Amino acid sequence: MRATRFFISTLKEAPADAEIVSHKLMMRAGMIKRLGSGIYNYMPMGLRVIRKVENIVREEMNRAGAIEMLMPVVQPAELWQETGRWDKMGPELMRVKDRHGRDYIIQPTSEEAITDVVRSDIRSYRQLPVNFYHIQTKFRDERRPRFGLMRGREFTMKDAYSFDRDVDGLKKSYQIMFDAYTRIFQRFGLQFRAVAADNGAIGGSGSHEFHVIAETGEDALVYCPISDYAANMEAAEAVALSATRPGASAALTKTATPGKAKCEDVAAFLNIPLQSTVKSIVLAVDDEEKGEAGKQIWLLLLRGDHELNEVKANKIPGLANYRFATEAEIVEWFGTLPGYLGPINTKKPVHIVADRTVANMADFVCGANEADFHFTGANWGRDLPEPLVLDIRNVVDGDPSPDGKGVLAIQRGIEVGHVFQLGTRYSQDMKATFLDENGKPQLLQMGCYGIGVTRILGAAIEQNFDDKGIIWPTAIAPFEVVICPMGMDRSEAVKAETEKLYAAMLEAGIDVILDDRGERPGAMFADWELIGVPHRVVIGDRGLKEGKLEYVGRRDTEATNVPVAEMLAFVQ
């Protein structure tokens, strides 16, 4: 590709509505352009990345035996009424009417559509197992579209659906997809983690999320650094809570020391209702106690009708003596801003109460929204290997880390993939059956597997950037190499060498762009650093006199001189 035949449109400043790095950089690099709330044009530079992501996904899905098809974006409401999701999904489901007044939806996902296909076209066990996928536009009327492609309303998803004759088959199909996802995210060149997940609204049993690790991620991940245990916060809490449920009351009495705050005390103290959903965590400092060691902090998951703002405005009775800890204070105590702080959205009614001084941050009582339902000895420490460690080795009545290793660390992630064992959730409602060997109809066992294709772009950038711009992993970079000639119009030698190298790279199958725009070097380099092309080759008269070209890797701080004849091999 020659830059003059392509479309490059970079900006010095990001638009004001761009809050996070990936959104800012994608806008500045001219990858996307906003058309409406949560709706973006994929500009030529951005589309190249999307296509590379799609190709890797497609290759690995095909390799894993899934079959590509394409289901429509607009789907009849009747299918969604059959499964009850027409009502259940609420305002996130985009509904439209045609000229006859008939109802349709714009697909947020395609379980109904694919189940409709298989209930008519799969008749016999001989046709199983089968796995269909498509890479298609999705629409979700997100309550808060934000962060550019990270949480758009219109976005691209790869969704796959497996059908098996029994649960054993489903588990095999699920494992095949799990392995394919692992290969896909490895090929992207991103640091990621698969975590156990709650199944949520979709129903069924058995589910994992794939997260790209990034501090800006919306989700908290809980994992054990010395074992395989990893779960998202919701699933971890669910396991931890159920593990301590039996006999928790007796255990608490046994280990509780006088003066420790109980959930009920805290709730009473704050006068908050106990029976509704957790909304946010509040970290407050008791200012009356003087001196570092004497400071008592309270970590509360506020629930019910109280919003953070209300607490800030001291509208909650009893909180008048407390102020919010400053970010600096939190960093001082925790060594970092704990991932577990900040607004969260969990259906699990849990709160955490700090009952010791800030100096050692040890031995919290963590309680759930039930009387006498606590962990003791939960430690938030900074001496442990990861930024924030929730050490629940001393948890009473069973160790909530399922593998018994017990030390859990928390990090933040961006959900880029999700695999589910759905079982018969959809085949039951939609009567999707096959005939077994005895000619008996049986319900199909279904799995579904999503990858947020366009979200990957945002996630990759959140993990790979610097103050100059994006640093794409080569596998998904818009171009692998940029050739930057210095004074191509003035120097015959530069022009000749540039054309020669460009042709050789194309011949070798390298995805190369030749910057023939005639920009000044500073502006030219700034553009490519912003866009994030991993390899840059600079061709100039000075180097050529010594038979050398200049190579700069996107993460390099200095250029490397490479003999002209070796450059091709050097960038491969």
Count of positions (residues) in the chain: 572
Kindly state the smallest distance separating residue 450's Cβ from ligand ATP, in Å. Answer: 3
Identify which range of 107-115, 260-268, 413-421, 441-449 contacts Mg ion by CB under 5 A.
Answer: 413-421
Identify which range of 98-106, 334-342, 411-419, 557-565 contacts ligand ATP by CB under 6 A.
Answer: 411-419
Indicate the residue among 295 and 418 with the shorter CB distance to Mg ion.
418
Q: 245: burial class by Cβ within 10 Å (0-12, 13-18, 19+)?
A: middle
Q: Dihedrals φ, ψ of 504, to 5°? A: -65, -40
How far, CA to CA in Å, does 444 sit from each of 78, 116, 238, 283, 455?
A: 21, 12, 29, 49, 31
Indicate the residue among 143 and 315 with the shorter CB distance to ligand ATP.
143
Indicate the residue among 112 and 550 with the shorter CB distance to Mg ion.
112
Q: Does 412 bind ligand ATP (CB under 6 A)?
A: no
Q: Does 85 bind ligand ATP (CB under 6 A)?
A: no
Indicate the residue among 116 and 415 with the shorter CB distance to ligand ATP.
415
Q: Does 450 bind ligand ATP (CB under 6 A)?
A: yes
User: In this chain, which of 338, 452, 485, 534 binds ligand ATP, going by CB under 6 A?
Assistant: 452
Kindly state the smallest distance separating residue 450's Cβ from Mg ion, in Å. Answer: 7
Q: Does 148 bind ligand ATP (CB under 6 A)?
A: no
Kindly state the smallest distance separating residue 157's Cβ from ligand ATP, in Å. Answer: 5
Closest alpha carbon to 149 in 414, 345, 529: 414
User: Which one of Mg ion, ligand ATP, none is in contact with 142 (Cβ closer than 5 to 8 A by kind)?
Assistant: ligand ATP
User: Which one of Mg ion, ligand ATP, none is in contact with 452 (Cβ closer than 5 to 8 A by kind)?
Assistant: ligand ATP
For ligand ATP, how many residues bind (rule: CB under 6 A)? 15
SS3 per residue for 499-554: HHHHHHHHHCCCCEEECCCCCCHHHHHHHHHHHCCCEEEEECHHHHHCCEEEEEEC
User: Which one of Mg ion, ligand ATP, none is in contact with 455 (Cβ closer than 5 to 8 A by kind)?
Assistant: ligand ATP
Kindly state the helix (H) or strand (E) to which residue 118 belongs, with its residue range. Answer: helix 111-121
User: In this chain, which of 151, 208, 279, 425 binds ligand ATP, going by CB under 6 A?
Assistant: 151
Q: Does 416 bind ligand ATP (CB under 6 A)?
A: yes
Indicate the residue among 198 and 480 with the shorter CB distance to ligand ATP.
198
Closest alpha carbon to 479 in 46, 148, 10, 188: 46
DSSP string, 151-167: B-SEEEEEEEEEEESSH
User: In this chain, which of 164, 237, 415, 462 binds ligand ATP, going by CB under 6 A?
Assistant: 415
Token pair, residue 254, equals: 């046994």
Show Cβ contacts of residue 274 under 8 Å, excluding neighbours closer than 6 positions: 263, 264, 267, 303, 304, 349, 369
Indicate the residue among 211 and 535 with the shorter CB distance to ligand ATP.
211
Which 107-126 residues touch ligand ATP, going by CB under 6 A? Answer: 109
Q: Which DSSP letter does residue 564 get?
A: G
Query: What's the rounded Cα separation, in Å, for the pair 421 and 416?
Result: 17
User: In this chain, which of 85, 418, 535, 554 binds Mg ion, going by CB under 5 A?
Assistant: 418
Query: What's the rounded Cα separation, in Å, for the pair 30 and 28?
Result: 5
How far, CA to CA in Å, does 570 sit from each of 262, 299, 345, 535, 560?
A: 64, 54, 49, 10, 11
For Mg ion, how many residues bind (rule: CB under 5 A)? 2
Kindly state the smallest distance separating residue 99's Cβ from Mg ion, in Å. Answer: 31
Residue found under tokens 């009545």: 397
User: In this chain, which of 217, 367, 417, 478 binds ligand ATP, going by CB under 6 A?
Assistant: 417
Residue found under tokens 């610097």: 466
- Cα 369 to chain centroid distance, Å, stands at 28
Q: Dihedrals φ, ψ of 549, to 5°? A: -120, 165
Binding site for Mg ion (CB under 5 A): 415, 418
Given the rule CB under 6 A, which residues bind ligand ATP? 109, 140, 142, 151-152, 155, 157, 415-418, 450, 452, 454-455
